[in-house]
Structure formats: structure tokens, C-alpha cells
Structure 1
Amino acid sequence: MSRLHRIVNAIVWGIIMVLGIYILGYGVKGQSFAKAAYACVKALSNGEGSLQRAAEKTLYPGLAFAAGDRELSYSLEEFLLHKAVGLFPLYSFLDEKELYETEIESQAAYDILVEGGAHDENEIDQRTGEAFDLAEKMEEENLQAAYDQEQAELSQAGENQPAAGTEYMTEQLADFDFLRNNFYIVENNTDISGELLNAELLLNKDMQIQNMDSGPQILIYHTHSQEGFVDSVAGDNSTTIVGVGDYLTELLEDTYGYQVIHNKNVYDFIDGKLDRNRAYALAEEEVQRILEENPSIEVIIDLHRDGVKEGTHLVTEVNGKPTAQFMFFNGLSFSKRNGVIDYLPNPYIEDNLALSLQLKLACEKYYPGLSRKIYLKSLRYNLHLRPKSLLVEAGAQTNTLEEMMNAMEPLAFVLHEVLGGGIQEE
């Protein structure tokens, strides 16, 4: 902005302030003063507008040509409000700065090395040299975004909104925009194409467990085993996400006939304190060991609970019981800025997406309102260890243990619908 432009801005702002104070204090008693004031402000505005248009035509002739010389008509009140917002640059400055800082914080995670030269979700802060859990950091950045977006969209009725209790056909889901907008939340630093998010391809993938007789088929574990709920008891892991995993294991084994390993190892509590710096790396090592010892395992479930603002309660009612809502989660190993993240290879992204989509559609069919939109993030989250790898964010810290336990019943049901083809074991 030129010095002359700044001076004109200051003058116009000053006049607006004086007029505002006068109107508030004494009122406008005659039309002549209002007309004169308006004429004065309008003249200054035209002068400022001329400067701006001249600058636009000089610096951005293409934009100026495309926009043309369209003029807007404002009432006096609208004009004053428009000028006040336009002349107060702090808003746009803060907005730009916030977006810039978020982008830099997210980008730094892709360019830095972890301890020992290995890359995963546990990264090194470039400024301090200390390790941090990138998944946790990104979760904090997006703490409420998913829930807020869901609520805003649910409040808008429209013909393209998913219908509760509906079984969607492949032809309907073939519309990429419909599929993405209604079933997914995509983190702002990643993206997904129609080639990858192809409903026909994903729904035609057979996610059924192939061998029910040769050993355990399902592994459940918790990268963040210390995640608790509003009424969790300190020191009692049966009241944390681990206890919830126990109940899911019981349901899958006793009700549906699967053989399940529930790994309860702790990866986020080191030397007597919460420490997620190496949680994903430590979990990967242990899961790899379990898979080597149990090659029959086809399905891996990393069961988490989400983190939301304290005023948010992710709960619905299923079969007359208060039930925590849950969300399926995918990592894409892709950032908008750098493209494919080579140091986080995942040959099973397509299979991961197929599993989560088929589960989401089963939820829509049998338990409308129970599952939140599938969340797509930019990293990998150990979903590369098996084609049928799944990360579930069940409830949040504001849910009760009862609500969480209740959620495992429909979750086990839809898992069986997809993994067992809907044929219940006798």
C-alpha cells in the first residue's frame, strides 16, 4: 500500500469515526447534514477507489479485465460498515498469519528426520531437537475441526445428504463429490483423487477373512493405551481404552466366533509419565513381532478414543442405550505440498480405504447417526502392516465408560458384516 493510499485510508477512517460518534450521541436531526456527510464520505471513497482501481489495472491487468468496471450500490449504513471492515487490515493480517503458521507447522513434519534415521509419525522438532508425536500434534491442530464441520453440515438439509438407514448403491456413490462431501473429512494439508476414492473399486474389494481355522484372525492393540474417559479410574486400565478393547475382543470371540489377540502393551507411558514421543514406532515394532508369530492374522485394529473440546459430547442412542459415536480413520501418505510421502510407504492404502468405506456404509445401513465421517489424514499411522488395517477413534474424553462399552456392540456387528460377510457363526 502506497503512502498516499494510507493517508487517504486514515482520513476516511477518521471521518467515519467522527460521523459515528455524532450519530450515536446526538442523532441526525436533518436530512441536509446526512446528505452532506454522505457526499463527503462518498467523494473520499471514490478517490480511494480510483487509486485502488488504478493499482489493480497496473499490477493485475488480467484480473481487472475479467472483473470489469462493475460498481456496487450501498446504503449509507452498508457503505459505512463496508468501509470500516475494509479499512481495518488487522483482520486479514491475523487470518493470513494463522493460516501460514498452521501450514509451516504441518510442513515441518514432512521434512525432518526421526531419531535413528527412521521416519514415521514420531518426528523431531527442528527448533528444539526434541521428539514429538506428530499424530498428537496434528490432532491438537485439528482438535474440533472434524466435529464442527459435521455439525454444520448436519444442520443443512439437502437432497445430497445421506439418508438415515439407507443402503447406498454403487451407482449413487460413483459421484465423487457426493461421496467425498458426505462420507469424508479431508485434512487441509492432504487430498484424495477420484482415481483413489473410487466407490466401485473400493466396494468390490473382498474384505472377508479368508481363513477361519488356522489361528487368530484379528489383532487389537492401542498405540495410545492411556486414553481414558470422564469417569476413568486412575491406575485401572479396565476403565481406559484398553478395557474397551477387552469388551470388543469378547464380543468378536464369543458372539461372532473369531480368534482375537488383544495386545495390551503400553507404548505411550514411559518411565512413569505420559510420553508419546515414540508411541507409533514402538507399537510398530511390537505389532510386527506379533504378525511374525501369528501369520494367520488378517485384520489389525488400532483402537483409540478421540480428543474434543470439553463441551462436546459424542453420543447417540442405539437400542435404547447411550452410545459413543465412533469414526474410521485413514492415512494417505500424501501431502498437498510434497505429494507422495516416500518415507512412509503404504502399499495397502486402497485396501485400507475399502475397509473403512465398507464399514461406514454398514453403519449407515444399520445404525444411522452412530459413525462420524471417515477422517483422512496425510501420514500413515501403521496402516501399512496389513491390507485390512483399521484405525478407529471411538468416542472422546468426554464420554463415559458405559457409553464407550455400548459402542463396541454395534462396532462388532458391522465388523462382522464386512469381515464375515454377514453370516453369523452358530
Structure 2
Amino acid sequence: MNKKWNGRNIFHKCVLVLLVIALGDFLFTGRSSSDGGGGSSFSWKEALAGKAEESVLNVWLPSFAFADRSSTQGSWFLNMLGQQVPLFAYAGSQEDGGLQTESGSTYERILLLEGASEYTESEDGDALEVPETSEGRIQLDDKMTQLLQEENQTGRPEEEESAEQEETPVPSADQFGFIRAAGRSQEYNWSYYQDFDALIKEFYAVDATTQASPARLNLDSLLGKTMAITKNPDVPQILIYHTHSQEDFVDSVPGDSSTTIMGAGELLAQILQEEYGYNVIHHTGEYDVEARDYAYSNSLPAIEQVLAENPTIEVVIDLHRDEVLEGRKLVMDLNGKPTAKFMFFNGLSYTKAHGEIEYLQNPYIDDNLAFSFQMQVIANEYYPGLTRRIYLKGYRYNMHLRPRSLLIELGAQTNTVEEIRNACAPIAHILDLELSGKGLY
């Protein structure tokens, strides 16, 4: 009994000592910062880390592994303690090196998060799929098409009505073996999607770290922006590149970039050039060879240089593949071919915790959103089920370089190279419908 009581006393004393240290560190560093931050400050964290390996701390203090190690302020301890004692969580959250302050460590941290957190899959994965049915869609199946044709034929002479109908020719495959959709298989009733909740449910998957608002996602703005361009095959107009060049697939050949996302980019560029007449640059720089961390900040100077050297480029496509739970495949049958599903991805430069990220500004957010939205509409009407819902996340992802910037997640690590390659032709067709102005009615 006494031993148990002594153990509790020791525990309580340890907690009290830690609280005293934290309070002293908090008051001391707060005074230092108020004096201008010119003097040196003591941090119990640095002293402790100097005497014990982080691996030991991670075992005995699990919150140490998740704490912000770039900050030496006393608030770091309050954040850690907030993990163990909720009472301290609010106090710690006020001075956590927040994203509103562009300190060196904070800026590096946000770029690290941006580079390492692009994958979108939730644990169940269901939230990212387009619903199979929707109250706001008009299904143009064979029966309805026939009824519409019969309605249009009323009043024709009797002999003409009884004449044998000519069969509609089946479209032939192009040189890449792809059969383009002859027209829409469904249309949207846009009055239904004036409701913000209906719009979000049908078209978007919003990451938990960010927030979508009616002010940002306004149907009239999304549909009203003209994203078509005047085609000029004499100058480069489309740039394709890969922030994450090392992303591969279930049967990719090690060392063979043609079987990775880079190969998909090369095929997409080829189809856009040879089938649709666009002048395309496929940039093959690699910015994630050592690690994915900081891949966006690593690629940014090179992409800016490409654009400076080719000012006629109007469309910038960052082509990726997603990562999903093992055993899950993003694939559908399209014209008898297994075809990888894909997703458009937008960064909002906004997180719930910190609001607008001022030093990751994007003057083209609204244009980017309209571009991906119109592409999604065309995809859903011409190739239902081929796309997943547009994913919205909190950072920028280098989408501030052009108004027509796309980040495409083509398939995932569980797809085959064949499935990925089969998706490149419909992507090219959807893009051409958008850029030519023929996709929306």
C-alpha cells in the first residue's frame, strides 16, 4: 500500500517539475521575444534532446514524435502537453509557429507538407467516387434518344416516315486505338446545382484540412469563364510535367521511365500533338528522386524557366498518379478496354486551422477551379464514370503559374501500365473539347 502511494507521489512530483519547467521556459522565451529576439534563449527541449536520443523520447513520450521540432519556443512543450492533457491544447495552439507568419522554419514546413501530402485516398475511399445516379442529371439512354428522334419526326410525310432508317455509322478507332465518344450520354440540369450542397456532393471531395465556400465555388463563375484558346500549332501552347516523376504502377519495370507516370506524360503529349494538332512540351525534369519532400519547391524554378522561355504556353498540366489502399483499383471498361480512372485536383491556399496562406498566393485560383470544373463536366457527360470527384486541398501545388493549370491524378499505384496508357486518349479528347470550346453547351 505504501509502495503504491509512494509511486503516485513520485509521479505527481514529476508532473509538477515538468509544469514548472514549462512555465519558466514559456515566460523566459516570451520575454526574450518581446525584447526583439536579439538575445539567446534557453530551451529545455534542446537540452533534453542533447542528452537523450529522439528514439528514446518517442517511446516514453509519444507526442514528441508528432511535435513541431523546428520551434524552440516554450509553446512547443505546451503543444506536446496538450496531446496528453487536453486542458493545455488551447493555450498551445495560439503560438505554434502558425502558417500566417512567414518565418523560415514555417515556410519550410508548409512546403514539406505540400510536397508530402498530395495523396488523396481516405481509409474507405468511397468519398472520392462520383455517385452512379444523380437527381441533377438527365440520362440520355437509347430509349430516350429514340423518343426524341420520334418526336422530331412528327409531321413528316407518311412515305418518309416508313422509309428505312439509315444506320448510324460506328466511329472508327484512331491511330492509338481509341474510339472517341460521338456525343454526350447525359446532360446536367444546372438549376439543380445552384444549390451549393448539391454542387459539392456531385462534383467535389473536400479534404478535411481545408474548406469550400459558396463564395469560392459559385456555379455561374465556374461555368461562365471562357477557357477555350485559339489553337496555334506553330508555337508551344501546352506544357506537361511531373512534380513526382518517380510515381509508378503495379507492373512498372524498374529503371524504365516509359512504364511510369513519365511515360504516360509522353503518350499524352504525343496524342495531343498527332490527333489534335497542339504544340506540346513534355518536360522530363525529376524533382523527387531522393524524396518527395519539397518536390513542389524544387520543381518551381525549372517550370518558371520553361514558361519564361515559352511565353505562348497557356495550359500547364502536372501529371501524377494517386495512392490508394492496396487491393483497390481505379479502373473501368471503356470501349472494351480496361481504363484507369483519373481525378482533377485543386489547391486552395487555405486551411481551416490557419486561414489564407498568404505566402502561397495564387491569383488564378478561380480560373483553375473553373478549368477543372468544366473538364469534369465534359468528362461526366461524354465518359460517365471515368473521373473521380475533383479533390480540393489546402495548399497551392504550383498552380499559380497560369490560369489554365491542371493537376491530374491518373490512376494509382495499383493500376497496370496498360490501364494508365488507355486513359491518355480520353484525357486528350476531353482537353480538346474544353480548349476548342466545343465541350460545353
TM bracket, shorter-chain basis: 0.5 to 0.7
Q: What's the CA shift for 1:341?
A: 1.1
Equivalent runs, 1:75-86 vs 2, <5 Å: none
SS of the residue aligned with 1:327?
strand
Q: Is the counterpart of residue 226 in structure 1 residue 246 in structure 2? A: yes
Q: Is the 8 A contact 1:223 1:267 kept in 2?
A: yes
C-alpha distance in 1 between matches for 2:403 and 2:124: 26
Match of 2:336 in 1: 320
**Kept in 2: contact 1:109–1:134 (CA 8 A):** no
1:199, distance to aligned residue in structure 2 (A): 1.3
- The change in CA–CA distance for 1:417 and 1:258 in structure 2 (over 3 A counts) is same
Alignment of 1:49-68 (within 5 A): none
- The amino acid across from 1:110 in the alignment is L
Q: Residue 138 of structure 1: CA displacement?
A: 2.8
SS in 2 for 1:393: strand
Letter of the structure 1 residue corresponding to residue 113 of structure 2: L
Shift of 1:113: 5.8
* Partner-residue secondary structure (3-state), 1:351: helix
Relative distance call for 1:295 and 1:110 in structure 2 (3 A) is: same
Shift of 1:169: 4.0
1:198 aligned onto 2:218: yes
Distance 1:197 1:162, change over 3 A: farther
C-alpha spacing 1:327/1:230, structure 2 compared with 1 (3 Å): same
Distance 1:213 1:407 in 2: 24
Deviation of the 1:275 alpha carbon: 1.3
**1:262 equivalent in structure 2:** 282
**How much does 1:277 deviate?**
2.2
Residue among 327, 330, 339 paired with 1:311: 327
CA distance in 2 between partners of 1:195 and 1:414 (Å)? 27
Q: What runs of 5+ residues in structure 2 fail to find an aligned partner?
A: 1-82, 141-184
* Residue of structure 1 equivalent to 2:306: 290
Shift of 1:111: 5.9
Q: Does residue 110 of the first structure (1) align with residue 126 of the second (2)?
A: no
1:76-101 deviations in Å (ceiling 9; x for gaps): xxxxxxxxxxxxxxxxxx9x99xx9x
Structure 1 residue 378: deviation in Å? 0.6
Match among 402, 413, 419 for residue 403 of structure 1: 419
Report what 2:109 is aligned to: 124
The CA deviation string for residues 177-219 of structure 1, in whole angstroms up to 9 with x for no partner, is: 1111111001112112112211111111111113525510000
Match of 1:179 in 2: 199
Partner of 2:380: 364
SS at the partner of 1:245? helix
Partners of 2:124 and 2:389 lie apart in 1 by 8
**1:268 shift after superposition:** 0.5
Specify which of 341, 345, 350 is matched with residue 357 of structure 2.
Answer: 341
CA-atom RMSD, angstroms?
3.0
Contact 2:375–2:431 at 8 Å: present in 1 too?
yes
- Offset at residue 308 of structure 1 (A): 0.6
**Shift of residue 135, structure 1, vs aligned partner:** 3.2
Q: Given the two structures, how large is their TM-score scaled by the length of structure 2?
A: 0.64
Q: Per the alignment, do residues 216 and 367 of structure 1 end up closer, same or farther by CA in structure 2, a change over 3 Å counting?
A: same
Q: Distance in 2 between matches of 1:143 and 1:108?
A: 28
Contact 1:146 1:185 in 2 (8 A): no
Question: How much has 1:228 moved relative to structure 2?
Answer: 0.2
- 1:215 lines up with 2:235 in the alignment: yes
Indicate how the Cα distance of structure 1 residues 233 and 345 shifts in structure 2: closer, same or farther if over 3 A, else same. same
Structure-1 residue corresponding to 2:113: 134
| Equivalent position SS for 2:188 | coil
CA deviations 1:20-67 (Å, max 9, x no partner) are xxxxxxxxxxxxxxxxxxxxxxxxxxxxxxxxxxxxxxxxxxxxxxxx
Which residue matches 1:250?
A: 270
Kept after mapping to 2: 8 A contact 1:383/1:390: yes
Deviation of residue 108 (structure 1)? 7.2
Runs of 4+ in 1 over 6 A off after TM superposition: none
Q: Is the 8 A contact 1:219 1:261 kept in 2?
A: yes
Task: State the TM-score, normalized to the length of structure 1.
Answer: 0.66
Once the two structures are TM-superposed, the CA of residue 278 in structure 1 deviates from its matched residue by 2.5
Give how far 1:267 is off: 0.5
Question: 2:125 aligned to 147, 154, 161, which one?
Answer: 147
Q: Answer whether contact 1:113 1:124 (CA < 8 A) is retained.
A: no
Equivalent residues of 2:134, 2:202 under 8 A apart:
no
The answer to whether the 8 Å contact 2:265/2:282 transfers is: yes
- Provide closer, same or farther for how the CA distance between residues 145 and 205 of structure 1 changes in structure 2, counting only shifts above 3 A: farther
Q: From the superposition, tell whether residues 146 and 186 of structure 1 become closer, same or farther in structure 2 (CA, over 3 Å).
A: farther
1:383 aligns with 2:362: no
Give per-residue Cα distances to partners, 1:256-275, cap 9 Å, x unaligned.
00000000010101xxxx31
Q: Secondary structure at the match of 1:302?
A: strand
SS at match of 1:343: helix
Residues 114 and 124, structure 1, Cα contact 8 Å, conserved in 2: no
Query: CA offset at residue 109 of structure 1?
Result: 7.9
Q: Partners in 1 of 2:136 and 2:301 — Cα distance?
A: 44
Range moving further from structure 2, 328-337 or 164-173? 164-173
Quick one: distance in 2 between partners of 1:309 and 1:241?
19
By how many angstroms is 1:110 displaced?
Answer: 3.1
Alpha-carbon offset, residue 158 of structure 1: 6.3
